């Protein structure tokens, strides 16, 4: 028992150490970035070019995919609520674990599908679904764009 | 909200890029592929808190405190930077790969900067949602809602179950969701008798899970609570001051204008038209909630 307590104590001391060094490391890193350290990790890609299109596309060549299956948010809701709502993180796209080719550093890259989506309609639908009394909302809305005029006329008429 | 390649992403990213803190997953840069908008972030090797807590069937009090302290430090920083998270939960807090892991707040998908309009839409995850958010309060204090969610998270860490859900709910069919929301509004929860938790810990949770926002402990008050201050690693209290001193610097390599430009490019040309649509829906929402 004693051993266990000591171990726990040591573990905590180590944890404290991690916390403070991480803060330090972090501050150094931030300062290096702030001063545009040319040898720093974050070579400011964007600042060197003006053409947004060009740089936005070329940045991806910096990274190599390590693990396509890596996801950091998954099945977020309890079994209780899961069937009644889509999982908020389920549809955002996907996350990969990537390695920066030049430095070997690991990064998580979150991919969202391009193209605009009318997210507010969805948000509205979600909030409506939460309000059990408003059944009409569920019957009127479909997630597609085409339902939009209906939103208009209904809310103006009620 | 769900796969939202919209200006919400721009807001999320800009909020995120302002945050430089050991307990916030650091934003790095954003770029485009032919089909996707790609957001490069710090890699947290330890997985998320949900898996961590579930794998252990709940944490003992000192471990839960270790994570809760970090969560509060991270939240305090975000709030002082003017960013509310609005979706604090185990699944949105990641861990680094250390033996005694560091917690990192991760998802800013719903976050709202104070300079943007006041939080008024119902976002967040049901089990973690604060009563004033459930009850459609016109404008609620996003910080107080975050604190509520943090306390729910502490509860789940300790007891490995959600405070406002019951075993029998599953049988309730379509009403189960409403039941949870109803309990949240009545602040109907109890501490499971089988799991011993100190009086100070119960005291803290019960002072945060309070429906009256004015009576709910604030982040500052939590930081003064005896349960919180126990075993607080030295130097932590001054850490946020150091981080706040870096205010104005971007966590990533891109300026806010560049981030916005990449996002706009990802959205495509329809973005401007959809702004109007958003305004329209906002109005419609407000009218609707007034009924």
What span, in angstroms and rounded, lies between the C-alpha atoms of A148 and A151? 5
- Closest Cβ opposite residue A112 in set B5, B22, B251: B5
A129-143, B160-174, B184-198: which is most confident: B184-198
What span, in angstroms and rounded, lies between the C-alpha atoms of B126 and B152? 11
Mutate to test the interface with B, among A12, A20, A41, A78 (most CBs of B within 10 A): A78
What is the rounded average pLDDT of the residues B21-50? Answer: 86
Contact A23 B239 (CB under 8 A): yes
What span, in angstroms and rounded, lies between the C-alpha atoms of B232 and A114? 44
Contact A107 B41 (CB under 8 A): yes
- Closest Cβ opposite residue A81 in set B92, B127, B235: B127
Residues of B in contact with A8 (CB under 8 A): 62
* A81 burial via Cβ count (<10 Å: 0-12, 13-18, 19+): buried
Neighbours of B205 (CB within 10 A): 20
What is the rounded average pLDDT of the residues B32-61? Answer: 86
Confidence band for B37, pLDDT divided at 50, 70 and 90 = confident
pLDDT digits (tens, 9 = 90+) for A73-98: 333 322 222 222 222 333 456 777 78
What is the rounded average pLDDT of the residues A138-157? Answer: 33
- Closest Cβ opposite residue A116 in set B33, B267, B280: B267
Nearest CA in chain A to B156: A78
Show the CA angle centred on residue B197, arms to residues B88 and B89, nearest 5°. 10
**Looking only at Cα atoms, what is the longest distance across chain B?**
58
In a domain, B254, yes or no: no
In a domain, B263, yes or no: no
In a domain, B255, yes or no: no
Report the CATH number at residue B169. Answer: 1.10.510.10
In a domain, B80, yes or no: yes
> How close does chain B come to A102, measured CA to CA in Å?
15
In a domain, B137, yes or no: yes
Which has more confidence, B91 or B228?
B228
Contact B242 A23 (CB under 8 A): yes
**Which residues form the domain of B183?**
44-232
Domain count, chain B: 1
Q: Which residues of B are catalytic?
A: 87
CB contact at 8 A, B216 and B207: yes
Residues of B in contact with A60 (CB under 8 A): 31-33, 38
What span, in angstroms and rounded, lies between the C-alpha atoms of A87 and B260? 27
Whether ipTM tops 0.85, in short, is no
CB contact at 8 A, B74 and B104: yes
């Amino acid at each position: 028992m004693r051993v266990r307590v000591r171990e726990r104590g040591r573990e905590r001391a180590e944890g404290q150490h991690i916390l403070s060094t991480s803060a330090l490391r972090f501050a150094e890193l931030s300062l290096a970035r702030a001063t545009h350290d040319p040898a720093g990790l974050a070579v400011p890609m964007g600042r060197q070019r003006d053409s947004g299109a060009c740089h936005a596309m070329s940045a991806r060549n910096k990274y190599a995919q390590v693990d396509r299956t890596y996801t950091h948010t998954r099945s977020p809701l309890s079994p209780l609520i899961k069937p009644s709502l889509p999982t908020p993180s389920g549809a955002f796209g996907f996350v990969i674990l990537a390695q920066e080719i030049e430095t070997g550093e690991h990064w998580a890259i979150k991919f969202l599908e391009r193209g605009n989506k009318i997210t507010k309609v969805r948000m509205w639908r979600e909030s409506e679904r939460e309000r059990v009394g408003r059944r009409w909302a569920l019957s009127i809305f479909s997630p597609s764009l085409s339902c939009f005029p209906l939103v208009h006329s209904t809310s103006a008429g009620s | 909200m769900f796969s939202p390649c919209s200006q919400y992403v721009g807001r999320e990213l800009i909020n995120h890029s302002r945050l430089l803190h050991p307990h916030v997953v650091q934003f790095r840069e954003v770029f485009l592929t032919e089909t996707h908008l790609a957001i490069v972030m710090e890699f947290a090797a330890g997985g998320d808190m949900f898996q961590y807590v579930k794998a252990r069937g709940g944490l003992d009090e000192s471990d839960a405190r270790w994570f809760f302290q970090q969560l509060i430090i991270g939240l305090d920083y975000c709030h002082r930077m003017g960013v509310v998270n609005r979706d604090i939960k185990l699944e949105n807090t990641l861990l680094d790969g250390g033996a005694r892991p560091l917690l990192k707040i991760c998802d800013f998908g719903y976050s709202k900067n104070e300079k943007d309009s006041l939080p008024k839409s119902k976002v967040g995850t049901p089990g973690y949602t604060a009563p004033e958010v459930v009850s459609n309060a016109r404008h609620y204090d996003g910080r107080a809602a975050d604190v509520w969610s943090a306390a729910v998270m502490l509860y789940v860490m300790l007891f490995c179950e959600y405070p406002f859900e019951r075993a029998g709910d599953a049988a309730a069919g379509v009403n189960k969701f409403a039941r949870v929301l109803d309990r949240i509004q009545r602040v109907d929860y109890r501490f499971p008798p089988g799991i011993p938790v100190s009086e100070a810990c119960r005291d803290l949770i019960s002072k945060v899970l309070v429906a009256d926002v004015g009576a709910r402990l604030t982040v500052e008050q939590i930081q003064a609570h005896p349960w919180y201050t126990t075993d607080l690693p030295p130097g932590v209290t001054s850490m946020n001051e150091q981080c706040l001193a870096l205010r104005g610097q971007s966590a990533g390599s891109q300026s806010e204008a560049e981030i916005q430009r990449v996002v706009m490019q990802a959205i495509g040309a329809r973005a401007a038209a959809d702004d109007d649509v958003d305004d329209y829906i906002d109005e419609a929402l407000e009218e609707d909630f007034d009924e």
